[in-house]
Amino acid sequence: MTGTSDRREFLTYAGLGTGTLILGGVPVDPALSQTARRRQVPLARGGTFPQGVGSGMPTQNAITLWTRLEGFRRDRRVRLEVATDPGFRKVVARRELRARAGKDHTVETRLRMPKRLKPGRQYYYRFETQDGSSPVGRFRTLRPPDSREPFKVVFFSCQDYQAGFYNAHRAIAAEDADLVVGLGDYIYERTFYEGPRKDTLGANGDGEVQTLAEYRAKYRLYKADADLQAMHAAHPYVGIWDDHEVEDNYAGTNPGDETQQMRVPFQARQSAAYRAFYEYMPFMPVTGNPLKGDGLYRRLPLGANTELFLLDERQYRDEQPCDDAFFEPCPEAESEPRRFLGRTQMEWLKGGLRSSGATWKLVGNQLMIMSLELSPGAQITKDSWDGYGQERRELMGHIASRDISNVSFLTGDIHTFFAGDVGVDGRGPETHATEFVGGSVTSLGVPETVESTTGAPVPREQSTLLTNNLRVTNPHIKYTEQQSRGYGILEARQEELLVEFKGVDAMNKGAPARSLGRFRVASGSPRVEVLSRAPSAG
């Protein structure tokens, strides 16, 4: 935000449920105006915007804007306004857009306006019907490509609706961030945890979704949450999927092994899940057919300091080795040629890292690339890079041999905070990148999962002992915290990368965020320095 008064003013306007269209100043797009004159699709009268608004994929003069209209069976039009102030006195763009019944009345548009959207500026937007308005959202365009100003990224993952409240998102909304990155498991396809909230979607009322209508209902449920809406209204967003957007632990075209009652073929389920994902995200596929999951991995230049690479580690992989067994040795995980990114994506990533001119190359990574072993050779999970050793060695060997500096992986999935150094084999002692694993928004960590399955709480001293054991077996891991839910915030500066993990109690609604640990990576040194840690952290 540009100041305290702007922040207060935005929060005031963002809560409005109705609004008046400002008619002066900026004309409606001519092509859309002609469509409107034909009256083929009426402008919505009434209706609501129960999933709020969202922005995504910012550039210096473009943004994608999103909402969903409810209350109609057929197509309707809505108006979009973008302004430089939250009161919409200075409007820079207007459009009339179609809320299509065939897309669950979601509305998504890409604004490319070099003459009206200026680099490094903050804008406000809203969608309107004839007699009502969505909440007001804001976004910040990217600074000029040669900007050396610090760039702030918030990253999160794993937000099971039932497991807790979205207090983390309320805290993220208040962060002064340039971009929010979701690292997967935005929704959960079925019930995994009992918690303070209920999810009775699906044909059997058990929370499990498999058809397009059911996946859409799941997104509607999640995005109706006020705290999640506040995050999307406050910051531009981009995200990647992990497994729960489709089905737990699926690999490529192979289903996972957890679904008890498969009501539709897996391929149909996968297509439905991909389609619903893109309908409900404030960004579009880069290329190809969204029903086939095309166009997820991408690169975002974020200024001279930073470039972000976003990966797809589900769709192109082979099945997990050793039947995805936990805590057991699996020699084939390192020795067999097993796809994880797949050839096309791997070559794209290697070429992008090699050609990037940014000081910091950030890799949005669903699954942990540092090795995590309970004892030497016994990987805790084979679902991560630990199950695909040859591709990890190829990628990290490329980074090492090409002397590509300042690569840092931002990771989700494992519901635990980690920070450490990445070697060619995911270990060390020689390292070539760093990794920060940002916990989870609500999904249970190791102690809570044990308690939920056994009925017995894990004493803090046992958790501390496990942490110490992990540190001994995995000396490349410099920090871990298993007790808390939360998120990470990263600031990329020319001379250093600063990262902070923030913990939020997900079980008590309204709980504030607190600092769990702070870290530094000096430019040119692939080593994590721990600046501070909470008393419970390892």
Residue with tokens 């207090």: 167
In angstroms, rounded to a whole number, what is the distance separating the alpha carbons of residues 45 and 128? 9
Q: What is the DSSP letter of 464?
A: H
In angstroms, rounded to a whole number, what is the distance separating the alpha carbons of residues 407 and 369? 12
Tell which CATH architecture fits domain 151-533.
4-Layer Sandwich (3.60)
538 residues of the chain, pLDDT tens digit each: 344 334 443 443 344 333 333 323 344 444 445 444 445 899 999 999 999 999 999 999 999 999 999 999 999 999 999 999 999 999 999 999 999 999 999 999 999 999 999 999 999 999 999 999 999 999 999 999 999 999 999 999 999 999 999 999 999 999 999 999 999 999 999 999 889 999 999 999 999 999 999 999 999 999 999 999 999 999 999 999 999 999 999 999 999 976 678 899 999 999 999 999 999 999 999 988 888 888 999 999 999 999 999 999 999 999 999 988 888 889 899 989 999 999 999 999 999 999 999 999 999 999 999 999 988 888 889 999 999 999 999 999 999 999 999 999 999 999 999 999 999 999 989 999 999 999 999 999 876 766 665 566 667 666 676 777 788 899 999 999 988 999 999 999 999 999 999 999 999 999 999 999 999 999 999 999 999 998 766 6
**Starting at the edge strand that comes first in sequence, how are the strands of the sheet with 91-99 ordered?**
91-99, 76-83, 122-128, 137-140
Domains 4-50+63-137 and 151-533 share a fold: no
Beta strands in 114-267 (DSSP E): 122-128, 137-140, 151-156, 179-182, 236-239
3-state SS, residue 452:
helix
Tell which CATH architecture fits domain 4-50+63-137.
Sandwich (2.60)
Taking the domains of the chain in order of start, what are their residue ranges?
4-50+63-137, 151-533
Q: Which residues contact 435 (CB under 8 A, 6 or more apart)?
A: 365, 368, 369, 370, 408, 409, 410, 411, 418, 419, 420, 421, 422
Burial of 123 (C-beta count, 10 Å sphere; 0-12/13-18/19+): buried
Long-range interactions of 528-531: CB distance < 8 A, separation 24+: 528/419, 528/420, 528/421, 528/434, 528/436, 528/478, 528/479, 530/419, 530/478, 530/479
Give the closest residue to 297 by CA, choosing from 288, 125, 397.
288
The number of residues in the chain equals 538
Quick one: tokens of 112? Answer: 């490319």
Give the closest residue to 361 by CA, choosing from 497, 184, 175.
497
